[in-house]
Amino acid sequence: MNSVRLVQFTDTHLLADPLARMRGAAVQPRLRACVAHARRRFFPADAIALTGDLVHDDAAGYDVLAGMFAEDRIPVMPIAGNHDLPGEMRRRLNRPPFAFDPLQRIGPWSIVLLESWFAASMDGEGRLGDSQLEGLERLLRDCRTTHTLVLLHHPPILMDAPGLDDLRLMDGPQLLATIARHPHVRGVAWGHAHQALDRLLPGDVRLMCTPATCMQFKPHSPNFEVDDRPPGYRVMDLRADGSIATEVVWLEGYTD
């Protein structure tokens, strides 16, 4: 395997009702459209990442997700966001192809899954906590012979949007300091912000925010202003040399 193709869907905000909308967006049809589009254009893939806010406070949404990916023969890696119910997520998705182990090894790459949901969150902010950061240090030592991608839900950096930045990963600087000690980490990808971002840290560590499959927020807005951008997702080709070729895919022309 010379490269690993990873397809990332995030912020699906599913509800049991197939006609449910969030801020005007028909969440279930939009996710189905993104998945169908990815299957046509970018499959076969080697893994699928679901990086949080998979449901909108409704555990029955996980049953929708289970049915949507039930036939996949590749790892489908779910991560909890602030609107998720982690216990219910694990209970309802506790079967293949869903993979919850925090370290996934695929070809020449290791993929680390971090849980930024925490029970004491007041408004939707994220935190890893000392225990998980210490565990990450051990995981990164264990996979130091492979290139590594880190996935989580909350942004570990400021997104230049005051309302959103209040709900970032609160221990983001500690996460980035940990990553800086491990040069085999080649990228970090997340969701939560409902917009796209692609940036490089020193050492060419790629930082990637992926837009939502439901609706988007306007970049740099002081509040949570809904954008007119269509549903989106990200495709990453994780290459054997440690580089990452990535594309944000927008469903241009999509209408509910």
Give residue 148's pLDDT.
98
How buried is residue 254: exposed, middle or buried, by Cβ count under 10 Å (0-12/13-18/19+)?
middle
User: CA-to-CA distance for 50 and 11, rounded, in angstroms?
Assistant: 8
Residue pLDDT, tens place only, 128-163: 999 999 999 999 999 999 999 999 999 999 999 998
Report the pLDDT averaged over residues 74-99: 97
Residues forming beta bridges with residue 97, ordered by sequence position: none
Q: Which two tokens stand for residue 230?
A: 């269509």
**Predicted confidence band of residue 31 (pLDDT cuts 50, 70, 90):** very high
Among 171, 140, 139, CA closest to 155: 171
User: CA-to-CA distance for 43 and 49, rounded, in angstroms?
Assistant: 14
Residue 100 has pLDDT above 80, yes or no: yes
Domain ranges of the chain: 3-250
Give residue 198's pLDDT.
97
The percent of residues above 70 in pLDDT, for the chain, comes to 100
How far the first Cα of the chain sits from its last, in Å, is 38
Compute and round to an integer the Cα radius of gyration of the chain.
Answer: 17
Residue 1 has pLDDT above 80, yes or no: no
The percent of residues above 90 in pLDDT, for the chain, comes to 94
Residue 57 has pLDDT above 80, yes or no: yes
**Predicted confidence band of residue 122 (pLDDT cuts 50, 70, 90):** confident
How buried is residue 107: exposed, middle or buried, by Cβ count under 10 Å (0-12/13-18/19+)?
middle
On average, the pLDDT of the chain sits at 96
How buried is residue 255: exposed, middle or buried, by Cβ count under 10 Å (0-12/13-18/19+)?
exposed
Give residue 202's pLDDT.
87
Those residues with Cβ within 8 angstroms of residue 238's Cβ, 6 or more apart along the chain or in another chain: 3, 4, 5, 6, 107, 108, 109, 147, 149, 186, 187, 244
Residue pLDDT, tens place only, 206-235: 999 999 999 999 999 988 999 999 999 999
3-250 belongs to CATH 3.60.21.10: yes
Left, alpha or beta for 124 (phi > 0: left; psi -120 to 50: alpha)? left
Q: Which two tokens stand for residue 159?
A: 């997104």
Give residue 2's pLDDT.
85
